[in-house]
């Protein structure tokens, strides 16, 4: 299924979910249980995050330091294939710039094509420079991944080959209603989003936000800038007190004071969860009533909370 075509054909709002691979060595069964819990809500797709290698230093007996590199959450492509073929749900793997060479990206695309996965999300990923230990050309920005995929869709690979088969990937990209934290201005950030769409991206999934006015303003600015593709709003249920600090630190977004107060002053875990669900439910209803094409939930390890929101929506 081509997601852009499915979006164009739909008349009713849809749901989609973002999951993350288990940590290295952990079982996949927790992911399957999360998918089973959310499956009754008929998700249009499930996207799966990708994670570049991380480094750590070990001090030797002689006082020297050795640098080790590892991927803490490998398995994105395999997990996408497992979800697609076990649960019959379309999957969307993230493809990253940083931590991967252009050749590794091409290899991943070839594997996805062999697996029958035709959709992907092109994202830059966290700034990490592995040139000293992993030489090779790499994509610097998400727009570079978009261009590489578009080239493969036309049958152009990194090395000239006779009779190369074109791929047929549908490409999504990320958008930032509150501006990417590294962008000097909202207008500058919007220019980069438009460049990704102009290069061939067919839809946008937004970073999580907690004030619907931010999303609708973002859509308005995108349309004024000539970005006409579907813009899918991203939601996260803040159902634990720890998320009040973790989300701003990792995702660089603002939380409303009312949500902070409700979760912070909750008496126990269940009351905190209910406060987060209530806020996300209000957001979901407002977005659907305002004409959003669907709702994308950043689930990660909180599938039951996303399920509560969807169950109460009654759709």
Kindly tell me if the per-residue pLDDT of 132 is higher than 70.
no
- Considering the domain delimited by 3-313, tell me its CATH architecture: Alpha-Beta Barrel (3.20)
Q: Please report the pLDDT score of residue 69 as a whole number.
A: 54
Kindly tell me if the per-residue pLDDT of 128 is higher than 70.
no
pLDDT, greater one: 46 or 251: 46
* Beta strands at 170-175 and 119-123: parallel, antiparallel or unpaired: parallel
pLDDT, greater one: 75 or 232: 232
Buried b (16+ CB within 10 A) or exposed e, 243-267: bbeebeeebebebeeebbebbeebe
Cα 182 to chain centroid distance, Å, stands at: 18
- CA atoms of 179 and 252, how far apart (whole Å): 9
pLDDT band (50, 70, 90) for residue 191: very high
Question: Taking the domains of the chain in order of start, what are their residue ranges?
Answer: 3-313
Helix (H, G, I), strand (E, B) or coil at 122: strand
Q: Please report the pLDDT score of residue 73 as a whole number.
A: 74
Q: What is the mean pLDDT of the chain?
A: 88
Most confident of 7-11, 71-75, 78-82: 78-82
| Alpha-carbon Rg for the chain in angstroms | 20
Q: Please report the pLDDT score of residue 59 as a whole number.
A: 46
- Residue with structure tokens 């994105």? 76
Kindly tell me if the per-residue pLDDT of 278 is higher than 70.
yes
Residue 32's H or E segment, with its range, is helix 29-38
Q: Please report the pLDDT score of residue 133 as a whole number.
A: 44
- CA atoms of 232 and 145, how far apart (whole Å): 20
- CA atoms of 57 and 53, how far apart (whole Å): 14
Min mean pLDDT across 129-133, 164-168, 249-253 is at 129-133
Kindly tell me if the per-residue pLDDT of 55 is higher than 80.
no
- Asked whether 154 and 168 are in contact (CB, 8 A), the reply is no
Kindly tell me if the per-residue pLDDT of 87 is higher than 80.
yes
Min mean pLDDT across 35-39, 129-133, 229-233, 270-274 is at 129-133
Which residues, including other chains, have CB under 8 Å from residue 247's CB and lie 6 or more apart?
A: 208, 236, 238, 253, 255
Residue 172's H or E segment, with its range, is strand 170-175
């Amino acid at each position: 299924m081509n997601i852009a075509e499915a979006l164009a054909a739909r008349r009713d709002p849809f749901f989609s979910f973002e999951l993350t691979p288990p940590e290295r060595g952990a079982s996949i069964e927790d992911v399957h249980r999360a998918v089973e819990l959310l499956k009754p809500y008929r998700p249009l797709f499930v996207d799966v995050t990708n994670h570049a290698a991380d480094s750590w230093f070990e001090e030797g007996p002689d006082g020297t330091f050795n640098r080790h590199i590892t991927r803490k959450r490998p398995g994105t492509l395999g997990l996408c294939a497992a979800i697609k073929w076990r649960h019959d749900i379309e999957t969307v793997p993230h493809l990253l710039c940083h931590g991967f060479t252009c050749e590794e990206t091409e290899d991943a695309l070839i594997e996805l094509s062999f697996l029958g996965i035709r959709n992907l999300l092109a994202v830059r990923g966290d700034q990490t420079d592995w040139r000293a230990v992993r030489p090779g050309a790499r994509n610097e920005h998400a727009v570079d991944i978009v261009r590489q995929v578009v080239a493969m869709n036309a049958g152009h690979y990194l090395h000239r080959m006779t009779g190369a088969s074109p791929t047929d990937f549908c490409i999504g990209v990320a958008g930032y209603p509150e501006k990417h934290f590294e962008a000097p201005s909202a207008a500058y950030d919007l220019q980069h989003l438009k460049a990704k769409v102009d290069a061939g991206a067919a839809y946008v999934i937004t970073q999580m936000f907690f004030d619907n006015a931010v999303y609708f303003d973002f859509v308005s600015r995108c349309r004024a800038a000539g970005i006409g593709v579907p813009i899918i709003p991203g939601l996260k249920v803040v159902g634990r007190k720890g998320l009040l600090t973790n989300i701003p630190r990792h995702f660089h977004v603002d939380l409303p004071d009312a949500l902070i107060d409700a979760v912070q002053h909750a008496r126990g875990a269940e009351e905190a969860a209910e406060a987060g669900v209530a806020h996300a439910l209000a957001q979901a209803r407002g977005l659907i009533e305002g004409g959003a094409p669907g709702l994308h939930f950043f689930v990660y390890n909180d599938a039951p909370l996303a399920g509560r929101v969807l169950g109460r929506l009654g759709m």
